[in-house]
Chain A
Amino acid sequence: MDQNKIHPDQKYIDGLAANDSVIIEMIYKKFAPKVVQFITNNSGDKDQAQDVVQEILILLFNQAKAGKLQLTCPFDAYFFLLCKRRWLNELKKSANKEVTIYENVVSINESAHELVAQAEEFDEKQKLFETMFQKLGEKCQEVLKLSFSLKSMEEVAEKLNVTYGYVRKKKSLCVGQLTQWIQEAKNFNSLKNN
């Protein structure tokens, strides 16, 4: 990875990943006001602004924890753009009403757009995965949960009181089931887009 291009604001991302209260408070103090202003100017209220900010920070936490977030633009631009797009989506979802956007914040960094696209893709993939996971049977969910939180498959077998061979096979097949559903969703999407 190109270390040179990383923006000093990466500090905020690392702070989120480390659950550093000082940094999180700083993010609220410095960057939330602009989001609140934008949302309250565009058919939203303060509570909705609070939710959007919180959702986006959870998204950033997830992305940072997965080691998939290297900030190459100022945090300000990135964060605002994410919140703004999230809010516009909310509006579209609930809208029969005409949506007119009032904004006086321009100058959005070019690489911010790229990062935002990545974050949204990350978010979508995670949500799709979550939906598929909930579709799995109880046994599969349990085997997967243990397989990915315990240290070894031997431990998983012991915990479930079955053989090692059985859990290994079960795990493969459960991941396989998820894979199959994801493949189907991908094919469906490419049909839809064509």
Chain B
Amino acid sequence: MNEERYILFDQYLQGELTVDEKHNLEKQLSEDTELASEFESFKEMHFQLENKFGQEQDREIFKENLTRISDKYFHKKQNKVVSLKPWYFAAAASVIIMFGLFFFDYKHYPNFEDYNHPESAYFTERGVSEAILKQAENNFNGRRYETAIPIFEMILKENNSEEIKYFYAVSLLQVGKYVKAENIFKELEAGNSVYKEKAKWNLALSKLKQGKYDDCKAILQTISQDYEDYDEVEQLLEELD
């Protein structure tokens, strides 16, 4: 192994060579293709090492989270459920039915609150101070929408991103500012971001909250079956019928 060579490469990458030494090495690199190829590999190893050890913790956390979501998606949890004998099922079912009959209030229309569960925000926008984003995120996730709204308005002046617009509109919907909220949802619906279908769903929720059931139904029918919470859409449609 050519030890001197690797020590020189390392010093070069650390910026420790004098101007003359640096020019000298660069000249050699431009003339000697084998040396240049070796230097490229040396840099590549640096990159791989930085990637391996610099991100190690993040990578472990990611893998754990990924496995959890993946198992949930592929219904792996079912294995852990203790299996019940059919007899117990029958008994449990009859108890549930009795309770159901007892508490069933024959109210005709579905309730906004049953379908209202805004997702949590995790903002990673660029060009806006992190502290402000964190504030918005915390207030939103803590359901302090009145506080979150002016912060969102401030952020939107700097960064008019679809993500911020979406969470701003959800906050507006929560505090009952329907017109403003619906305008933003309509704008997102017309766009092509990942919030397109979500915007439709929220628009429908807004109508539901206002008791405009026919409007709600009409909007629900435009939601794509690919929407990630389509089961909720179907459930609400059924209730509306």
Question: Footprint of B on A, CB under 8 Å?
Answer: 8, 11-12, 14, 16, 18-22, 24-26, 28-30, 32, 46-47, 50, 53-54, 57-58, 61-62, 65-66, 125-126, 129-130, 133, 144-145, 147-149, 168-169, 171-173, 175-180, 182-183, 186
Chain B 17-42 interface residues, beta-carbon cutoff 8 Å to A: 37-38, 41-42
Known: A22-B119, A173-B7, A176-B42. 18 other contacts (CB 8 A): A18-B122, A19-B65, A20-B122, A22-B122, A25-B72, A28-B69, A50-B74, A62-B55, A129-B44, A145-B53, A147-B49, A148-B50, A148-B52, A149-B54, A149-B56, A172-B7, A173-B6, A175-B42
A182 adjacent to B41 (CB under 8 Å): yes
How distant is the Cα of A178 from the Cα of B50 in the complex, in angstroms? 14
Contact among B9, B44, B49, B52 for A182, CB-based, below 8 A: B44
Q: Which residues of B have CB within 8 Å of A178?
A: 45
Distance (whole angstroms) from the CB of B197 to the closest CB of chain A: 10
**CA distance in complex: A137, B146 (Å):** 59
With contact pairs A57-B66, A145-B53 given, residues A173 and B73 touching in the complex (Cβ less than 8 Å): no
Q: Which residue of B lies closest to A49 (CB)?
A: B74
Number of interface residues of B (CB under 8 A): 48
Q: Which residues of A contact B67 (CB under 8 A)?
A: 54
State whether B52 touches A18 (Cβ < 8 A): no
CB distance from B130 to the nearest CB of A (A): 13
25 contacts between A and B (CB under 8 A): A14-B124, A16-B62, A21-B65, A24-B66, A25-B72, A25-B73, A28-B73, A29-B73, A30-B228, A47-B74, A50-B70, A54-B67, A61-B62, A65-B51, A65-B55, A125-B44, A133-B52, A144-B53, A148-B49, A149-B54, A169-B7, A172-B3, A172-B11, A179-B38, A182-B41
Nearest-CB distance from B145 to chain A (Å)?
19
The reply to whether A176 and B73 form a contact with Cβ atoms under 8 Å apart is no
Query: How long is the Cα–Cα vector from A114 to B29 in the complex, in angstroms?
Result: 30
B122 and chain A: residue at smallest CB distance = A20
